[in-house]
Structure 1
Amino acid sequence: MIGVYEFLPNSEFLTLVGGLFCKDDALTQKLCGNILFLMCGFNQDQLNTTLLPVIMGHLPAGSSTNQLLHYAQGINSAKYRQFSYGMIKNLANYGSLTPPDYDLSKITAPVFLHWSDNDWMADSKDVRELQSKLPNVKGSIRVPLAEFNHLDYMWAIDAKPLLYDTVLENMKKY
Structure 2
Amino acid sequence: QIAVFAALAPVTTITHIKSPIRLLAPMCRVSQVTLKILGVGELGKSSRLMKLVRRKACASRYTKAICSNLMFLLFGPETKFMNKTRLYVYLTHDPAGTSVKNVVHFGQMINSKKFRKFDYGPKRNLKLYGQREPPEYPLERIRAPVALFWSPTDWMAPSRDVQGLKKRLRSLVLDYKMPIDDFGHLDFLFGIDVTKVLYAKVVALFQHYLK
TM-score between both structures, scaled by the size of structure 1: 0.86
- Residues 114/91 of structure 1: CA separation in 2 closer, same or farther (3 Å cut): same
Deviation at 1:141, TM superposition (A): 1.2
Higher mean displacement: 87-96 or 75-84: 75-84
Q: Kindly tell me the number of residue pairs found equivalent between the two proteins.
A: 173
Cα RMSD for the two superposed structures: 2.3
Partner of 2:123: 88
Point out the more displaced range, 75-84 or 145-154: 75-84
Residue 41 of structure 2 is aligned to residue 5 of structure 1: yes
Shift of 1:90: 0.7
SS of the residue 1:131 aligns to: helix
Q: Partner of 1:20 in structure 2?
A: 56
Runs of 5+ unmatched residues, structure 1: none
| Distance across 2 between alignment mates of 1:44 and 1:75 | 25
Name whichever of 9-18 and 114-123 sits farther off: 9-18
2 CA distance for matches of 1:155 and 1:16? 20
Amino acid at match of 1:15: K
Seq. identity, %: 39
* 1:64 alignment partner in structure 2: 99
Shift of 1:120: 1.2
1:129 aligned partner, one-letter code: G
For the Cα contact (< 8 Å) 1:41–1:150, is it kept in 2? yes
- Give the Cα–Cα distance (whole angstroms) in 1 for the partners of residues 105 and 54 of structure 2: 29
Instruction: Verify: 1:109 aligned to 2:144, yes or no.
Output: yes
- Could you say which structure has the greater relative contact order, defined with CA pairs below 8 angstroms and 6 or more residues apart? 2
CA deviation digits over 1:100-133, x for unaligned, max 9? Answer: 2222122111111111122111111111101100
Measure the CA separation in 1 of the matches of 2:157 and 2:181: 14
Contact kept, 8 Å, 2:166 with 2:172, in 1: the verdict is yes
Matched-pair contact (CA < 8 Å) for 1:107–1:134: yes
Which stretches in structure 2 are left out of the alignment for 5+ residues?
1-34
User: Secondary structure at 2:115's aligned position in 1?
Assistant: coil
8 Å contact from structure 1 (residues 108, 136) kept in 2: yes
Q: Whole-Å Cα distance in 1 between the matches of residues 73 and 86 of structure 2?
A: 18
**In structure 2, the residue corresponding to 1:45 is in which secondary structure?**
coil
Counterpart check, 1:166 vs 2:197: no
Which stretch of the first structure deviates more once superposed, 63-72 or 118-127? 63-72
Q: Match for 2:56: what amino acid?
A: L
**Matched residue SS, 2:180:** coil
Q: Which of the residues 52, 55, 75 maps onto 2:87? A: 52
How big is each residue's C-alpha offset from its partner over 1:10-66, in whole Å with a ceiling of 9 and x where there is no partner?
Answer: 35554334323433x734334332222111112342222342222111233222121
1:149 to 175, 184, 193: 184
In the superposition, relative to structure 1, how do residues 70 and 158 fare at CA in structure 2: closer, same or farther (>3 Å)? Answer: same
**Residue 42, structure 1, aligned to residue 77, structure 2:** yes
- Indicate conservation of the 8 Å contact 2:79/2:184, yes or no: no
